[in-house]
Structure 1
């Protein structure tokens, strides 16, 4: 089913987020490890195509992934791993939704907020990627870092991004379909995307193009 704005509807579980069940210390809770379940994919089967970092305003941070293959890809078990540029402080989260699927030529937006409140987000990473002091708040994405998209210990895509824009998003050049072989360094083929929002799908005033093709870079 195609949604307004040209997006393909994603199949999702009845409940996107399981309850938090284990508290290690006051104010910092984690869920039990995910069972050994991840999609068997090859390098390039998913592409990191857009990121929105910490900014003022009500819009959340998020990462957009693109499926360039001709087959639907289950999202459960995908891991996003961030490491500071000096190789320190690795952090990560795993997508847990059993029924969330990325259709061929479609996008998945994982972000710091529930989809029923933020329609431009498809999966809420907050319960597993939350602030160390407040489980209700998402962790800020590193302003500059390496980002690896991993499934079953296979690195599907690798990106070094040198800085996230203070407005809009860091966007892979939309003049061609997203490709994992050409997006490894944000200094080449990436640019700031300050496209305005287009109403109820993304929210009035939202910069960037979550879940949609990126515009060409200047």
Structure 2
């Protein structure tokens, strides 16, 4: 569900060319960066300093799973926007700048699971996940910046059902030893070693990797821009 506010349309320039957009990814995730690059976008990467655990803990107890990932995505985008606003006062800013913040968590057994961080926690996660299904939720917040301030905002959440396979004990221990699942939402990847243990998906594969391209396209429209402008702004 998107929540736009008033935006200035991103019209082509007087010569008919599409005005480029500086697209800022508020994430250190190499998987999100890879998805965007494969889709024809070379973003500027700015990593937020948001304490995800602190943001989640501050939310009301009754906050639903989708609202949690949306709040985390927005916190990341706003944090990066604040930094860009400071820079914009000291330098010429592009006519169109868009920041996207994302956050992913696996919802299974009524609980949200983020990054396990340790081998022990990842092993416990897989004991729950193997042979079952869970919903990978990815929150997105898109901010459009002009003259150092936010002029439009839209947000939404992708939900994709993931059906997990059952790795053998040897396979699971080898996967844990790779350390890949320790710093990814839900203790698995789709685009890495974890892809061996994902039987099927219902939903958007790109959102499982970390950023949902169809949803971002919708959010761009909500703030008065479009994908063609991202393709035109591939430099940077």
Using CA pairs below 8 Å that are at least 6 residues apart, which structure has the higher relative contact order? 2
Q: Same fold (TM over 0.5)?
A: no
Q: Structure 2 length as normaliser, TM-score?
A: 0.27
Q: Structure 1 length as normaliser, TM-score?
A: 0.29
From the two aligned structures, give the one with the greater strand fraction.
1
Q: Which has the larger radius of gyration?
A: 2
